[in-house]
Amino acid sequence: MVSCVLQTAFLGDMILTTPLITRLAEDGPVHVVATPANAGILLNHPAVASVIVFDKRGRDRGVGGMRRVARAVRATGASRAVLAQGSVRTAAIAWLAGVPERVGFDTSPGRLLYSRRVPFDGARHHAQRLWQLASPPGTTHTAPPLRPSLFPSPADVALVDSLLREHEVTADTPLVALAPGSVWATKRWPFFDALAARLREHAGATCRVVVLGGPGDRALADTIAAAVAAAGGAPVIDATGRLSLLASAALLARCRVLVTNDSAPLHLASAMNTPTVALFGPTVPGFGFGPLAERHRLVEHTDLPCRPCGAHGPMRCPLDHWRCMRDLDAVMVADVVRAIVTDAPSTPVF
């Protein structure tokens, strides 16, 4: 059976869709409709037959763009469309493409155009919810959380090697990755610089901090680099804006631990099984987007009654105190980082 998965949400959603894609590939070729920003994350994935790019905010905006993508979906010969992203727009594309089986969640805005609706289970991890869309009607899966999968190319790995060589990092150098960015301002923990300075204190001279993110995160990386320099630490490796998504995943595979907000790097680390310390502020892991690396720790203010205050986190704290993040101090987070790394079977870093 040929399947088409439509996933045009955020990068993290696409990464969490990879277990579903892998499951569907057991039945036959899987084609994926993705945004231009997310298409690259599926490169080299053995379960993906092709990627159809849907530029919903650009050249494919409007009915004409939907028709173009629907024609591309029809050309795949798909007999099953899985609406991993639940908008009316993606449902309409599957319908226009003439795909007979259209499966999605019963809570999705586009559900009236589905031929089968699967109950949205809010208690499960989102990777597992998405995986459930491939289940035969009437069955319930109780499998443990599924880890996503990504496949950096040799060129991605070579780019990382080059970056690390440039910074005189050897194979033995313990790397600590920090991902301080997020689209939503209230999700950005404000003490990454203080944490980086403390990791230097505990790590000794050999520990290197590497900052991951997009070009817009460079100012955050500069602040972190300044804090580490002031503490006398080894120079920070600023990888912001320098790596593709898959190269970022390849870099994470080299790191002993990632410290991240509730944002896309968390899911990259899940795919690469990099030990993860995840900081949750206005959102909660219970939404289904927590880390899936075998070793992970959650850091959150569990007794703050205003949490959670939005599906994504507002741009500004509606109560102005922003305690969900400000109360998570760097000393405590540094202890959590030390704990997760010293659990490692290899020699402790800190």
Which helix or strand (DSSP H or E) is residue 175 part of?
Answer: strand 175-179
Q: Which is nearer to ligand SF4, 95 or 280 (CB)?
A: 280
Rounded Cα distance, 90 and 35, in Å: 12
Q: Which is nearer to ligand SF4, 120 or 322 (CB)?
A: 322
Distance, CA of 238 to chain centre:
20
Half-sphere exposure of 174 (CA within 13 A, CB side): 23
Among 43, 183, 231, 309, binds ligand SF4 (CB under 6 A): 309
Residue 315 lies near ligand SF4 (rule: CB under 6 A):
no
CB 284 within 8 A of CB 301: no
Query: What tokens does 261 get?
Result: 């907000």
Applying the rule CB under 6 A, the residues between 142 and 201 that interact with ligand SF4 are 186
Binding range to ligand SF4, per CB under 6 A, among 13-21, 123-131, 175-183, 305-313 = 305-313
Rule CB under 6 A: is residue 124 a binding residue for ligand SF4?
A: no
| Residue closer to ligand SF4 (CB basis): 86 or 313 | 313
Please say whether the beta carbons of 213 and 180 come within 8 A: yes
Judged by CB under 6 A, the stretch of 78-86, 203-211, 219-227, 319-327 that binds ligand SF4 is 319-327
Query: Under a CB-based contact definition with an 8 Å cutoff, are residues 324 and 306 in contact?
Result: yes
What does 17-49 look like in DSSP terms, one character per residue? HHHHHHHHTTTS-EEEEE-HHHHGGGTT-TT-S
User: Which one of 112, 306, 339, 344 is in contact with ligand SF4 (CB under 6 A)?
Assistant: 306
Query: Rounded to an integer, what distance in angstroms lies between the CA atom of residue 98 and that of residue 51?
Result: 19
Q: Which of 317, 336, 341, 349 binds ligand SF4 (CB under 6 A)?
A: 317
How many residues of this chain interact with ligand SF4, rule: CB under 6 A?
14
Positions 255 through 284 that interact with ligand SF4 (CB under 6 A): 281-282
Task: Verify binding: residue 299, ligand SF4, rule CB under 6 A.
Answer: no
Q: Which residues bind ligand SF4 (CB under 6 A)?
A: 186, 281-282, 304, 306-307, 309, 317-319, 321-324
